[in-house]
Amino acid sequence: MFTQPPPGNGRDGPPPFSAVRLIVVIIVSGGICYWLAHYFAAPIVKLSNAVRQFAGGDLSVRVTSSIGDRKDEISALASAFDRMADRIESNLTSQRNLLRDVSHELRSPLARLNVALELCRKQCSPDVGKSLDRIARESDKLNELIGQILTFNLFESGMSSMEKSKVDLTKLIIEIADNADFEAKGMNRAVKVVTSDACTILGNVELLRRAIENVVRNAVLYTGENSAVEISLKKITLENVPYVSIAVRDHGPGVSEDEIMHLFKPFYRIDNNQVMQPGGAGIGLAITEAAVRFHGGSVKASNAPDGGLLVEITIPPI
């Protein structure tokens, strides 16, 4: 009697596909996919990190040597980035060197000019003396501008070796406010500290003093008459990280939203009908931004809801 063989035991059926072979295929495929993903993604991650470092001010970063000997589009992109970085670093270095050299060279004739002015004062009439006083004032302004340029150039050239120590920000803010208030009284204005938490940071006291004074003096110039510039020092938390906030608020006309983003750029001049820096060179706030960045912080400006400009400096504490 004819009997049909059980299913799967015939020679013409498909061979059994064992679980071991399936696992081997998965492992091999996964390994190949991982290698391919790493091969293409790793250099892109390195390039992305380099772009962030470069944007953050590290002009020495390069990527070609770190991605190995590749001959593909990613390698070409890395080479293009390095060429761009070389060009930008060279241009910025040349610009900084020019500013430094010109500023130093201007100091000598200015010193001789001041000596000549003092000699003229001893020999001239009172009427001529008024003109000499005006020349002396303009000479002092030029000398101050040269000092600001040299200071800014020092920041941009790298200041990692500058000495840092514990700084009592509460004491520093009170000193700055007292000095600024004394000057502001001559313009029918005032400076007052409205909030003062006990804050200590690790930093350079003179750099911090200059950074905060630049903001406060700008505020004094542009706040309305019979009004007060308000300074607040607070401990704050951003994304569960403690920071120190120094806010300076005036009661002037404020700045247009289109111009606010440019306030901390060096030598940027806002329209004369606007608020900031009439007759100035536009470098004081750039020094502030560089000094704050040196301390690992940030500075931003915004128009207060009820009028006036608000500048906030945020610095990590000790």
* 252 sits in which H/E element: none
Beta strands 200-203 and 228-238 are: unpaired
Contact 14, 48 (CB under 8 A): no
Contact 136, 124 (CB under 8 A): no
Residue 104 designated active-site: yes
Backbone angles phi, psi at 294, to 5 degrees: -60, -30
Instruction: Please tell me which residue in 104, 251, 262, 295 is annotated as part of the active site.
Output: 104
In the structure, how many helices (H) and strands (E) does the chain have?
7, 7
Burial 115-130 (b: 16+ CB within 10 A, else e): eeeeeeeeeeeeeeee
Coil vs helix vs strand at 9? coil
Closest CA to 243 of 313, 173, 168, 167: 313
Annotated catalytic residues are: 104
